[in-house]
Structure 1
Amino acid sequence: MLNRDYVNGLIHNGDAFTFLRCDRSSPAFWELKKKEVMAMIRQLGCPTLFLTLSAAETQWSELIIILTQVLENKVITLEEAESMSYEKKCNLIRNDPVTCVHYFEHRLKCLWEILSAPCGPFQGYELVDKYVRTESQVRGSPHVHVLLWLKNGPKYGENNPESIERCIEFIDKLISQFATS
């Protein structure tokens, strides 16, 4: 470390910060993740869909029931959870962010099962792979950004006018399926 040329070489090559690759807040970690995504794109092509999924804790009555039991040692009904004031729900959520994150992860896991099911919303387009980046909003609530690759999904801009029409039909089909679910 006393050799200035050696240290400058580490910094110049990006090797000085590799030990931080496991720290989610470090540039080295996100550089590694960027390389993973780029490798997926090289192997699988452009993703078919991009999703952003946010937690809606105040609207999840089951979570409110759990939080009331954990924080107040009180059992409430679904109706009581639904009629609870917004401020009370926010207070419960604020006081137990760990349970909220676990519940969000549980709902996300259930969503992946639905999206991967042969009779799910991507029927006819098998879910080949996904890349998920989890972030926390300012209030501490998690949300995820997702790239999805679907088998036989339409490709936009194949220098083919039919590709645009195929993309429009695909999007319309998904929007109408999700709107009716």
Structure 2
Amino acid sequence: GRFARHPTFRFVAFNTLMRSQARARSKFFVKQHDGTREPLTREQLIQALEHSDDPEAQALINSITRHAVSIRGTRPFWNRKRQDLEAYAYSLGCPGAFITFSPADLHWRSLYQHMPRYGEWLRASEPERMALSRYLLRQNPHIAAFHFYRRYCFFRDIVLRKKFNVTDYWDRYEWQGRGSPHNHGLYWMKDSPAADMEDEAARDIFARTWGFH
């Protein structure tokens, strides 16, 4: 759509979403007492706000702090995700594999059949197709991102889970400078060889298993 293709609308929408989440998940706290006065009442707070020039009222206002819960994409959010991953490792042990998935988003026919000018893309020569692919990716980043997400989910659930007996996983998405997504993930697999580099037999089993695949 027109808004999805707009070069800056997505950033405005993201900024608006983040601000809305910050407002909805934020709370204000007031220091109830400093050891010299009684607990603060609602009436005292209202009076301080109405007479904010008064030094005592100003001191009271300065004691108000704002606290927000973790919001997606912020440093506290990723700190919490890191703690989740550490808990996975402590509970499940060393994962069987670390895998990065990157899209061939300049070549995937399955992607461009969902974009405008697909017929032109099919008929184009290789140099023309590459130029058109770059243009279509810039114009339709939402289609490219969702297509990569769906392909990854299908590959994870149909291929990885069944072929390698994946029992648990932890992953995250990142975007390159030109907007191309990729996925980093840790995968725990039933009966996967341990990555024990101190034991020669374990190294041999590990190399043979993953060398075969």
CA distance in 1, matches of 2:148, 2:124: 18
Q: Which structure's residues are more often helix, by fraction?
A: 1
Counterpart in the other structure of 1:100: 144
* Native 8 Å contact 1:55 1:104 kept in 2: yes
- CA RMSD across the alignment: 2.7
Query: Percent sequence identity over matched residues?
Result: 24
Cα distance per residue 1:52-89 (max 9 Å; x no partner): 11121111012112112xxxxx5528843785521111
CA distance in 1, matches of 2:209, 2:125: 36
Query: Greater CA radius of gyration, 1 or 2?
Result: 2
For residue 143 of structure 1, the aligned residue among 176, 182, 191 is 182
Shift of 1:160: 3.3
AA paired with 2:119?
A: I
CA distance in 1, matches of 2:80, 2:119: 45
For residue 22 of structure 1, the aligned residue among 52, 71, 91 is 71
Structure 1: tracts of 5 or more residues without a match? 7-15, 69-73, 175-181
CA distance in 2, matches of 1:67, 1:61: 10
Shift of 1:20: 4.6
Counterpart in the other structure of 1:65: 113
Distance of aligned partners of 1:18 and 1:37 in 2 relative to their CA distance in 1, 3 Å threshold: farther
* Native 8 Å contact 2:167 2:190 kept in 1: yes
Find the residue that maps to 1:43 and give its secondary structure. helix
Counterpart in the other structure of 1:116: 161
CA distance in 2, matches of 1:130, 1:17: 35
Task: Give me the TM-score of the superposition, normalised by structure 1.
Answer: 0.74
Distance of aligned partners of 1:65 and 1:155 in 2 relative to their CA distance in 1, 3 Å threshold: same
What is the aligned length? Answer: 153
Counterpart in the other structure of 2:103: 55
Counterpart in the other structure of 2:12: none
Cα distance per residue 1:76-104 (max 9 Å; x no partner): 28843785521111001110100111110
Distance of aligned partners of 1:93 and 1:43 in 2 relative to their CA distance in 1, 3 Å threshold: same
